[in-house]
């Protein structure tokens, strides 16, 4: 089973913010898997034990891909991720992908890397500490779109609502990022 975790913050206050790029990508990936006739894709369901929203993509009744949105808020994402990894005995180095926003990358770009994080990202730090390793694949989605004249602090910027144009840009790269991800991990 492949576990794909999108980091973000729950609640309408945080919808369509750069910090929720992981959630946004997972919504798009769920749609993509739903178009693939191989998969039977479920709805998002809240699981209190795992403190997450979970969507399963099955083949012949067996879960092949589990999409997870931790509901613990960004800074405690590792708590939810480690519970799921332990319960389903996920091999972190080959079976886990974490999708998150990255202010070190321009909006409209992404990087798919192993054990490489932005300079400061509390969600990724939480996941690394909870799992005791940084050896997992990350889809780093670029959200940096501040101008030289508008350099508000990053911690404020990532919680501001994005424009429709910015959301459209994220959706465009989501398609390409999904194709790139499929070349590295089987699903």
CA-closest candidate to residue 18, choices 146, 151, 147: 146
* CA 130, 136, 139, 142 torsion-angle sign: positive
- Please answer whether residues 28 and 122 qualify as being in contact, where contact means their C-beta atoms are separated by less than 8 angstroms: no
Catalytic residue among 2, 6, 19, 101: 19
Structure tokens at 96: 């886990």
Going by C-alpha positions, the residue among 49, 58, 44, 32 that lies closest to residue 8 is 44
Give the CB-side neighbour count of residue 83, counting CA atoms within 13 A: 16
Q: Which of 118, 130, 153, 115 is nearest to 21 (CA)?
A: 118
Q: List, in sequence order, every residue forming a beta bridge with 3; answer none if it has no partner.
A: 66, 96
Whether 19 is catalytic: yes
3-state secondary structure 110-170: EEEEECCCCCCCHHHHHHHHHHCCCCCEEEEEEEECCCCCCCCCHHHHCCCCCCHHHHHHH
Active site residues: 19
């Amino acid at each position: 089973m492949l576990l794909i975790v999108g980091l973000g913050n729950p609640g309408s206050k945080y919808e369509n913010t750069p910090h929720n790029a992981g959630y946004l990508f997972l919504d798009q990936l769920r749609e993509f898997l739903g178009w693939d006739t191989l998969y039977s894709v479920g709805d998002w369901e809240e699981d209190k034990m795992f403190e997450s929203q979970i969507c399963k993509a099955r083949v012949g009744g067996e879960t092949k891909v589990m999409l997870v949105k931790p509901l613990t808020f960004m800074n405690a994402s590792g708590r939810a991720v480690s519970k799921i990894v332990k319960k389903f005995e996920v091999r972190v180095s080959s079976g886990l992908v974490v999708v998150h926003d990255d202010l070190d990358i321009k909006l409209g770009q992404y990087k798919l890397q192993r054990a490489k994080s932005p300079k400061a990202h509390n969600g990724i730090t939480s996941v690394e500490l909870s799992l005791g390793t940084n050896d997992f694949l990350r889809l780093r989605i670029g959200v940096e779109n501040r101008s030289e004249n508008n350099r508000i602090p990053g911690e404020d910027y990532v919680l501001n609502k994005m424009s429709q144009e910015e959301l459209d840009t994220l959706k465009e790269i989501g398609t390409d990022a999904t194709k790139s991800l499929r070349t590295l991990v089987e699903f």
